[in-house]
């Protein structure tokens, strides 16, 4: 079996497994000559993937173990319980190999963590409804006290509320498109073409 690449997408609450085989790094020896260093789990190397979202606020780390079929290879597992705690978003990752005091960068890449889209859609809709009811002046006490970024809706100006309504309507439309695409119903967006 060839190298199984790192995943391009991770769904929150899903188990993900992959194997890295024939890992190698470039190194410069004492004579100043570039050489290839074989990175093998059986020789005490550790392979670690660290991913960070674009804001830098959310990270996750996965450390491989020696593969059960070949002790030189590295097996990664993210359990469903662990991925359930991940925050949806776009992440950049780097894969490093470490042995004692030596660390090599093996690869870099990108992974999208996909949240529970239906739960996300429901949360966005509740927030959007609360914003609209506060704007209309018909919100309940609970809806007025709903907080976004640490501030309740009732202390925000009408201008702030209108900006929030626009932002959350955009989020709602994007989440709804994801649900429709997931159900193979199309995004609802029109694609126009013209033939000359």
> Residue range 143-167: average pLDDT?
88
Tokens read off for 45:
């190397």
Whether residues 50 and 96 share a domain: the answer is yes
The chain-wide mean pLDDT, for the chain, equals: 87
Q: How far apart are CA 69 and CA 187, in angstroms?
A: 42
Residue 192 lies in a domain: no
Q: How far apart are CA 9 and CA 111, in angstroms?
A: 5
Report field, pTM of the whole predicted structure over 0.85: no
Confidence of residue 182 (pLDDT cuts 50, 70, 90): low
Query: What is the per-residue pLDDT across 61-89, written as a single tens digit (0 to 9) for each?
Result: 999 999 999 999 999 999 999 998 888 88
Place of tokens 């694609």: 191
> Residue range 92-121: average pLDDT?
89
Whether residues 99 and 36 share a domain: the answer is yes
Give how many domains the chain has, as a whole number: 2
Look up the domain containing 160 and give its range: 117-182
Tokens read off for 189:
């967006």
Whether residues 53 and 123 share a domain: the answer is no
Q: Of the candidates 96, 114, 132, which is a domain's last residue?
A: 114
Whether residues 148 and 103 share a domain: the answer is no
Q: What is the CATH number of the domain that holds 67?
A: 2.60.40
Residue 60 lies in a domain: yes
Residue 16 lies in a domain: yes
Residue 124 lies in a domain: yes
156 pLDDT above the threshold of 50? yes
Query: What is the per-residue pLDDT across 8-22, written as a single tens digit (0 to 9) for each?
Result: 889 888 999 999 998
Residue 4 lies in a domain: no
């Amino acid at each position: 079996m060839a190298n199984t690449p790192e995943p391009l997408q991770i769904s929150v609450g899903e188990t993900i497994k992959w194997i890295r085989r024939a890992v190698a790094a470039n190194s410069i020896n004492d004579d100043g000559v570039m050489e290839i260093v074989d990175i093998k789990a059986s020789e005490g190397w550790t392979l670690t993937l660290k991913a960070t979202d674009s804001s830098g606020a959310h990270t996750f780390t996965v450390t491989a173990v020696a593969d059960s079929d070949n002790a030189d290879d590295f097996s990664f597992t993210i359990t469903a319980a662990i991925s359930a705690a991940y925050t949806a978003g776009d992440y950049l990752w780097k894969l490093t190999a470490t042995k004692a005091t030596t660390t090599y960068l093996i690869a870099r890449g990108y992974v999208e963590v996909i949240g529970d889209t239906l739960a996300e859609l429901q949360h966005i809709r509740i927030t959007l409804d609360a914003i609209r009811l506060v704007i209309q002046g018909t919100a309940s006490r609970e809806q007025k006290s709903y907080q976004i970024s640490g501030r309740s809706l009732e202390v925000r100006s009408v201008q702030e509320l209108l900006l929030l309504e626009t932002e959350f309507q955009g989020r709602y439309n994007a989440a709804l498109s994801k649900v429709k695409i997931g159900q193979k119903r199309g995004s609802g967006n029109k694609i126009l073409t013209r033939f000359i």
